[in-house]
Structure 1
Amino acid sequence: MPCITGLTQEDSQTIGFVVDCLFCQAIDRAELRKWCPHVVITNDLEHIPQYIFNLMDFDEGAADVFRVIGFVPTKIRGADESALYGIAYLRGIDVFDSPTSPSAASKALEARPVMLQRFREVFPFVDLGPTRWSATALRHWLKQRAMPLTALTEPASAGRRRSEPGAPQNVRYCLWSQWVSATLGLPW
């Protein structure tokens, strides 16, 4: 059976990546809990650290993850960290207190495709698929319908249609006016 490496204090690459994904909001606590059984299923029992079983019930603040793990794993920094924020934005997550702008995070992710590949390997159960809209796909969708940018950012009470068949349902709630403006290169 293949083993997931990088789960020990001596080699903490994988658990460090998972924790960084949690802190960058690329995953949430529920996905962290879902990752743990994935580790159990894909490893021999003797290779699984005890903290993996403890994380299955983890429902505390992100900073408490270190107490559960018992050590501080290797941290990702720089462009790799920005790419993780890019994954969070790609998933349509409203990132709280990001040190990088959505457009910078998106550019970092484009420059570091290995981070997206690693994310898919570590979290194969997380869907990054067709429910998420790239800036190009969103731009194309808007152009086809000759819709102004405000159709995405103004409240429905402003006289706009709340939704249209085929419309990306998560756009109204997940994209901020600034993000749309910066990512699509539209004047604001």
Structure 2
Amino acid sequence: MARTWRITREDGEDLGFAYDCFVTGAVSLEEFTGWLYRVLQDTDDFPPFLIDLINVDDADELRRRVINVVGFLPSADLDRMQERALEGIAYARFPDHRDDSITRGDAFAALQQADEVRRRFADFFPGLAIPHDERAQNGQSQQRRVRHWWLAGSSERALIVGEMPAIVRERTAAGQLSTCFEANAGLVLQIVTNGERAMVMLLARSDGTGGHAINPTATGSSAGYLLENGQEDEYADHDTVPLPTAFALIEHIGVHGTPPHQDWQTDY
């Protein structure tokens, strides 16, 4: 008996899930098109836009034109954890996948918790395996092992997370505009400020991944960022945040060992 797929404007849940897999990078355009062919084989009375979707052979063009082609934006009713799980599939299947909104470790952790997403992906794309991402798993396990932080060079004194912003405030007031914290899990948190804004960077030494906080709506640039070696830098305001935001980020990273999911850019 042919399967009934939910692919209409009134109920487009299945089309939405397959398209969400494509948009997040969990499947390629060719794999998404393969799913469309499967739907055509299973469906006697299908909407004409399925043929139009199949005929779009460029991924960027499909993203730009999907509403015009379909007549509505396909989207599944996924919660935030399930959306992150799709990113986990993308990271696991494609080594070059990058998404500045979520780290590899966080995406993998979400995937591990989202049994329904894994089952649904296997149902929709039965020929596609989700590889075990050892790098992501190791990174996440290290994040969970964060037990304490210390000021670089002072590992004998563990810090209370609440002390970390206070230390940056005190050092900034004293003219020391660069502060580096380290954690037992191999994390390095670097803050460089000019007294008004700050560059906040997090590096995981275990796998070389790193990133920094961003201010997406900011324009222009600011000078006066003094490094420990005496060099004074100027940074785009897009790549720095106001000091109050920096203090909140320091506490977040201090508690969780991971950057926030928003307003963070992965650099490498």
TM-score by length of 1: 0.65
Cα separation, 2, equivalents of 1:4 and 1:93:
34
Cα separation, 2, equivalents of 1:98 and 1:66:
25
Identity %: 27
What is the CA-CA distance between 1:67 and the residue it aligns to? Answer: 2.1
List gaps (5 residues or longer) in structure 2.
139-206, 211-256, 258-268
Cα separation, 1, equivalents of 2:4 and 2:103:
33
Greater relative CO (CA pairs within 8 A, separation 6+): 1
**Gap change, CA 1:127 and 1:114, over 3 Å in 2:** same
**Gap change, CA 1:14 and 1:98, over 3 Å in 2:** farther
Query: What amino acid does structure 1 have at the position aligned with 2:24?
Result: C
1:91 aligns with 2:93: yes
C-alpha contact (below 8 Å) 1:79/1:108 kept by paired residues: yes
- Partner residue, 1:72: 73
- Partner residue, 1:161: none
Cα separation, 1, equivalents of 2:83 and 2:69:
23
What is the CA-CA distance between 1:93 and the residue it aligns to? Answer: 4.0
SS in 2 for 1:124: coil
Rg: which structure is higher?
2
- Partner residue, 2:152: none
What is the CA-CA distance between 1:125 and the residue it aligns to? Answer: 2.9
Cα separation, 1, equivalents of 2:127 and 2:67:
24
Offset from partner CA, 1:93-123 (integer Å, 9 cap, x none): 4224341111000000111111011011111
More strand by share: 2
What is the CA-CA distance between 1:31 and the residue it aligns to? Answer: 1.1
- Partner residue, 1:165: none
- Partner residue, 1:40: 40
Cα separation, 1, equivalents of 2:20 and 2:30:
15
What is the CA-CA distance between 1:3 and the residue it aligns to? Answer: 2.5
Cα separation, 1, equivalents of 2:4 and 2:128:
17
- Partner residue, 2:246: none
C-alpha contact (below 8 Å) 2:13/2:75 kept by paired residues: yes
List gaps (5 residues or longer) in structure 1.
140-175, 183-188
Offset from partner CA, 1:145-172 (integer Å, 9 cap, x none): xxxxxxxxxxxxxxxxxxxxxxxxxxxx
Offset from partner CA, 1:45-103 (integer Å, 9 cap, x none): 21x11111112222232232222221112343411100000011111342243411110
- Partner residue, 1:121: 123
